[in-house]
Structure 1
Amino acid sequence: MKGMGGMKVVLLMCLGIFVCMLDSTIMNITLPAIQDSLHTSLETSSWMLNVYTMTIAVLAIPMARFAEMYGRNKFYIVGLLVFGLGSALCGLATNGDYLIAARFIQSFGAAILIPCSMVIGIAAMPLEKRTLPLTLLGATQGLATALGPTVGGIITEKLSWHWVFYVNVPICLLAIGGAFIILTIKNESRVKSKIDWFGLLFSVSAIFPLNLVLIKGNTWGWDSPQAFGCYVITVLSIVLFIIAEKKSKAPMVNLILFKDRLFTGSVVTVTTGFIFLIGVMVLLPQFLTNFQHKTELQAALLVTPVSAAIFVFSQIAGLLTKKIGFTLPVMFGFAMMGIAYYLLHNLNIHSTSGQIILLCSLLGFGFSFVISSATIASTSSFEGEMLTASQSVFSMLRQVGIVLAVAIFVAGLTTTIHDKKQVVVHFANQKLEKLDVPQSAKKKIFSETKKSINIQKQNHKANQTIISKAERQKLINSSIEKALSPIPEEQRVEAKEMVYKQVEKQVDEEIDNKGKLIKTYENQVADYALKTISSSFADLYKASIPFVLLCCLTGIVFWERKKKPVIPKLENTPGVE
């Protein structure tokens, strides 16, 4: 497996990592098309996205452990089969519940593939040449994650959302064929061990409620009974997990891992790095499509520079890390991401494509240093079971980072948008008070205006009619009575026809003038709403800048003081004074 054969294994593992990480973000742009096709609610749609990352986070550790016990290479092939089957079922989905179930099957395969790909790929090369596979595998993770929205947008626009999943099937078949040719299937080494059932139980009971509250917290309320229950279960499960692992003769996760400073630094770095990458990759396409009215394809192409920068600079970052250590590359990477966030805080409906491309390039450039350093540090000098354990934990915490990003940024955006909508409603009410229309009409206009202030329909301008046909006729009749009142009663029948035409014309002109006033009001409110609500994205990224820059300090975890060389003392020898 070493040498050139080892390199083939690494590339095969990159294929497995790529297809799994791609599907963690590929649905971000595709989701509206799926919602329209399957007529799903927002709640169901959110589960389509979240079941994938949550399942990987929950099952990555136990699946890696089983792979050690029954054969990594065999498990890798099983993972490809399950992932390919799940992908095909996703494409065939006819309703939301079907798609959620299919996504679970797909994510089960990914929970096997991700840790197995990392361990097999790293173990394929000698320890002294480990930087190359680590850099390639780390770059593939970041590249696939960033490339997901782009690929999803292109496939959805050119084919259909079904092919977002179907495209995985031939890739999996190709990888399975390569696995039978390249990998050793028979007589592969295994670890003789018992299954740590308590460790498995407590790890699942810790990770599942944690992910659940991150996903549902904004809906439930972060201080709700449901959320509080999840907090309690998570904390108790973590405590019980630590106790169980300390007492177990064959622990699922060897806690000695966290005594290694490089490994601990790597999991902190990869979790925070993915939080700030996904925070952009999830929300920026939504801004481009909903507020700048780009097509899915245009939005996808505008965020592509993130992927391109990761692809181009990850190798350079890996080589630099090998030369100068982890500290400076990690600090530099987060600093570049901080600059990207600074540019994002100026994001508005008039931001040019050039500005979007620049900030995306800087984000990908910075992330390439973060992910390369974290991936290399995650292995430290581990071998065998410790290497498997390190990569299963690393994979799990990376997925937690993705879930955290979605939870934090979506919750933050939802709150900010809610506040901005209240500002818009206040503005609309002030403008309406100055409008020269009947008070009864104002109530109707204000009610319709509040309905139109919706994040998903910012280009919608209500075409309201304040006077119905019945109300118009009532106005005409009232005006005719006033016009006929001075005329003698015996002459009113003859005068009514002529008066009716004049009154009707006057009423229609008045209604038309009021309509123009309302149209102007609608345009003012719609423009103000578009500008104000779209600023929610910029405000959120502005608030994130200090946290991104604070993450530069994670580089300190990797700092190593140079030891002064010990000069041996010369002993007194004959002829030497």
Structure 2
Amino acid sequence: MKGTGGMKVVLLMCLGIFVCMLDSTIMNITLPAIQDSLHTSLETSSWMLNVYTMTIAVLAIPMARFAEMFGRNKFYIVGLFVFGLGSALCGLATNGDYLIAARFIQSFGAAILIPCSMVIGIAAMPLEKRTLPLTLLGATQGLATALGPTVGGIITEKLNWHWVFYVNVPICLLAIGGAFLILTIKNESRVKSKIDWCGLLFSVTSIFPLNLVLIKGNTWGWDSTQAIGCYVITLVSIVLFIIVEKRSKAPMVNLNLFKDRLFTGSVITVTTGFVFLIGVMVLLPQFLTNFQHKTELQAALLVTPVSAAIFVFSQIAGLLTKKIGFTIPVMFGFGMMGIAYYLLHNLNIHSTSGQIILLCSLLGFGFSFVISSATIASTSSFEGEMLTASQSVFSMLRQVGVVLAVAIFVAGLTTTIHDKKQDVVHFAAQKLEQLDVPQSAKEKIFNETKKSITAEKQNQKANQTIISKAERQQLINSIVEKALSSIPEEQRAVAKEMVYKQVEKQVDEEIDHKGKIVKTYGVQVGDYALKTISSSFADLYKKSIPFVLICCLTGFIFREKRRKNLVNAVKLQSIE
């Protein structure tokens, strides 16, 4: 039976949210397989990931506004169709550029689905019963985001990377069928308004360059001409956007949203929460595969407890928030995430699977309180256009949090690894000076060692050789000639073969001895490099601990002004 309320609608919206948020992280582990299959460069591969989050961040606000004007339910179905079509095209991709274009189509559908799913799902229940749909929708966001790498790893290993995208098609078809059965399509309520073209323009020019510099800043340099240009465009566009929206009769975003304390707290909380969640979900699988030599599937399964904890505890967090307010759950959530980061600062190549599972469980446990509280607070008591506007901004800033996390943590890790590699090069040089090998061999060994250390893949080993075959032969000939020169000329022909064999044996024994010394040196440098470079992850998380704990203070944004209420109560009693 069609209608606008009920749990059926909420569950249908959870399905739309799930596929969209799942695809924001599902490629994290799958990307190497796609690179090998399509033979793409690192630059092209990065855009396969980044075009998705960037498009959602840029288009979430205008798509939500258009949905209000032309019908949320219709737009939801359109979003499912576009997302499913984009997913099918992604699976059919035969080169990197094709996949980027297909990902854009897919993300265009996601930019429609995410805010529409939130608004339709929330509006399906009465105001006094919002906690349940909000908790379910919030839990679905966090669960899908955290589950992405696991699903991607399993599908890639058991099938192939194409099915990472194909799997969305039947889900979208199922959701479209459900939408026609459950939602009101004909004569649904719409907002009669003009399109705020200036607001649309400045919202796009505010968000696009901001996301672009977050994605490319590490490559360009954060103080490069391109980066500074993005900063200026973003700042100017934000100012113009505020001016235009204040004067517009039908603004793209009603700026009165930010006068609401709960909404302001929610966007700050969700942005920072996703920064610290994605900071682990993006980097930890890389550590597990590159330094602990886990398979992609093993790495995916080890981070699965994040998803499991979010799924299990989000409902509890939502109910608790309803009873005691937002302050304590938000502070508790960030506190738990801070403990997870404390455990991460001890991460090393010998960390056990049990330790990884524990810290991932704590991270998911803490995040469940953060996302539940933020999602519930994001709606405040809004209805109608204000509800739609709140969810479009909330969705946009959540995606900004994802992009921000990748920018901060990848840039931080890149810088830390570079510094660690310089330490390893210095250690290698010191150890090399102590070796009893010729100076010419030392220079060759050092160059090979340095090349291996600074290589992008840490599992590469230097081909450390003291002497080439040609150099060996030249050395043997030199020694033989010197030895024969001390023998009477008439005896040289007879002695030459015997002298050659003796010299050859001596040279090979010396080369073998020096080779063992160099091999031991290589093992020492390799062990030191593995230990030192792998510690970059732990150092990065250690530096992040204070920031996670500082985020606990965001809970105070939600504190009610009890003193003012108490004064009003006293005045009322005095009048009586």
Scaled to the shorter chain, the TM-score interval is over 0.9
How far apart in 2 are the matches of 1:562 and 1:404? 35
Q: Which runs of 5+ in 2 are unaligned?
A: none
- What residue in structure 2 maps to residue 574 of structure 1? 573
Q: Determine helix, strand or coil for the equivalent of 1:187.
A: coil
Distance change >3 Å, CA 565–CA 13, structure 1 → 2? closer
How far apart in 2 are the matches of 1:477 and 1:574? 111
Distance change >3 Å, CA 575–CA 380, structure 1 → 2? closer
Q: Tell me if the contact between 1:3 and 1:125 (Cα under 8 Å) persists in the aligned partners.
A: no
How far apart in 1 are the matches of 2:121 and 2:33? 36
Q: What is the CA distance between 1:364 and its match in structure 2?
A: 0.2
Q: What is the CA distance between 1:464 and its match in structure 2?
A: 2.4
> Which stretch shifts more, 34-43 or 61-70?
34-43
How far apart in 2 are the matches of 1:13 and 1:181? 13
Residues 496-547 of structure 1 deviation map (CA, whole Å, 9 limit, x = unaligned) = 0110011111111111111111111111111111000000000000000000
Q: Tell me if the contact between 2:61 and 2:389 (Cα under 8 Å) persists in the aligned partners.
A: yes
Residues 2-47 of structure 1 deviation map (CA, whole Å, 9 limit, x = unaligned) = 9995100000000000000000001111111111111111111111
Q: What is the CA distance between 1:116 and its match in structure 2?
A: 0.3
Residues 338-387 of structure 1 deviation map (CA, whole Å, 9 limit, x = unaligned) = 00000000000000000000000000000000000000000000000000
> Which stretch shifts more, 3-12 or 22-31?
3-12
Query: Where does 1:104-123 land on structure 2 (aligned, <5 Å)?
Result: 104-123=104-123
Q: Tell me if the contact between 2:3 and 2:184 (Cα under 8 Å) persists in the aligned partners.
A: no
Distance change >3 Å, CA 481–CA 196, structure 1 → 2? same
Q: Tell me if the contact between 1:302 and 1:356 (Cα under 8 Å) persists in the aligned partners.
A: yes
Q: Tell me if the contact between 2:3 and 2:183 (Cα under 8 Å) persists in the aligned partners.
A: no
Q: Tell me if the contact between 1:150 and 1:300 (Cα under 8 Å) persists in the aligned partners.
A: yes
Q: What is the CA distance between 1:448 and its match in structure 2?
A: 1.2
> Which stretch shifts more, 30-39 or 366-375?
30-39
Q: Tell me if the contact between 1:142 and 1:371 (Cα under 8 Å) persists in the aligned partners.
A: yes
Q: What is the CA distance between 1:95 and its match in structure 2?
A: 1.0
Q: What is the CA distance between 1:264 and its match in structure 2?
A: 0.2
How far apart in 1 are the matches of 2:4 and 2:243? 44
Q: What is the CA distance between 1:202 and its match in structure 2?
A: 0.4
Q: Tell me if the contact between 1:460 and 1:526 (Cα under 8 Å) persists in the aligned partners.
A: no
Q: What is the CA distance between 1:483 and its match in structure 2?
A: 1.4
How far apart in 2 are the matches of 1:40 and 1:529? 28
Distance change >3 Å, CA 489–CA 38, structure 1 → 2? same
> Which stretch shifts more, 337-346 or 36-45?
36-45
Q: What is the CA distance between 1:245 and its match in structure 2?
A: 0.3
Q: Determine helix, strand or coil for the equivalent of 2:94.
A: coil
Distance change >3 Å, CA 111–CA 455, structure 1 → 2? farther
> Which stretch shifts more, 506-515 or 136-145?
506-515
Q: Tell me if the contact between 1:420 and 1:533 (Cα under 8 Å) persists in the aligned partners.
A: yes
Distance change >3 Å, CA 238–CA 512, structure 1 → 2? same
Q: Tell me if the contact between 2:451 and 2:462 (Cα under 8 Å) persists in the aligned partners.
A: no
Distance change >3 Å, CA 511–CA 161, structure 1 → 2? same
Distance change >3 Å, CA 481–CA 35, structure 1 → 2? same
Distance change >3 Å, CA 231–CA 153, structure 1 → 2? same
- What residue in structure 2 maps to residue 445 of structure 1? 445
Q: Which runs of 5+ in 1 are unaligned?
A: none
Distance change >3 Å, CA 64–CA 459, structure 1 → 2? same
Q: Tell me if the contact between 1:89 and 1:102 (Cα under 8 Å) persists in the aligned partners.
A: yes
> Which stretch shifts more, 511-520 or 306-315?
511-520
Distance change >3 Å, CA 176–CA 575, structure 1 → 2? closer
Residues 158-210 of structure 1 deviation map (CA, whole Å, 9 limit, x = unaligned) = 11111111111111111011001111111111000000000000000010000
Q: Determine helix, strand or coil for the equivalent of 2:256.
A: helix
Q: Determine helix, strand or coil for the equivalent of 2:5.
A: helix
Q: Tell me if the contact between 2:2 and 2:183 (Cα under 8 Å) persists in the aligned partners.
A: no
Q: What is the CA distance between 1:332 and its match in structure 2?
A: 0.2
Q: Tell me if the contact between 2:143 and 2:311 (Cα under 8 Å) persists in the aligned partners.
A: yes
What TM-score do the two structures reach when normalised by structure 1?
Answer: 0.97
How far apart in 2 are the matches of 1:87 and 1:118? 21
Distance change >3 Å, CA 551–CA 494, structure 1 → 2? same
> Which stretch shifts more, 253-262 or 488-497?
488-497
Q: Determine helix, strand or coil for the equivalent of 1:464.
A: coil
> Which stretch shifts more, 510-519 or 421-430?
510-519
How far apart in 1 are the matches of 2:451 and 2:112? 46
Q: Tell me if the contact between 1:74 and 1:185 (Cα under 8 Å) persists in the aligned partners.
A: yes
Q: What is the CA distance between 1:235 and its match in structure 2?
A: 0.2
Q: What is the CA distance between 1:315 and its match in structure 2?
A: 0.1
Q: Tell me if the contact between 2:2 and 2:181 (Cα under 8 Å) persists in the aligned partners.
A: no
How far apart in 2 are the matches of 1:52 and 1:355? 32
Identical positions, percent: 90
Q: Tell me if the contact between 2:5 and 2:125 (Cα under 8 Å) persists in the aligned partners.
A: no
Q: What is the CA distance between 1:466 and its match in structure 2?
A: 2.5
RMSD value over aligned CA atoms?
Answer: 2.3
Q: Tell me if the contact between 2:3 and 2:182 (Cα under 8 Å) persists in the aligned partners.
A: no
How far apart in 2 are the matches of 1:284 and 1:576? 62
What TM-score do the two structures reach when normalised by structure 2?
Answer: 0.97
Q: Tell me if the contact between 2:275 and 2:401 (Cα under 8 Å) persists in the aligned partners.
A: yes
Q: What is the CA distance between 1:462 and its match in structure 2?
A: 2.4
Distance change >3 Å, CA 13–CA 485, structure 1 → 2? same
> Which stretch shifts more, 458-467 or 169-178?
458-467
Q: Tell me if the contact between 1:2 and 1:126 (Cα under 8 Å) persists in the aligned partners.
A: no
Q: What is the CA distance between 1:444 and its match in structure 2?
A: 1.6
How far apart in 1 are the matches of 2:311 and 2:214? 30
- What residue in structure 2 maps to residue 554 of structure 1? 554
Q: Tell me if the contact between 1:2 and 1:124 (Cα under 8 Å) persists in the aligned partners.
A: no
Q: What is the CA distance between 1:563 and its match in structure 2?
A: 5.5
Q: What is the CA distance between 1:573 and its match in structure 2?
A: 19
Distance change >3 Å, CA 216–CA 504, structure 1 → 2? same
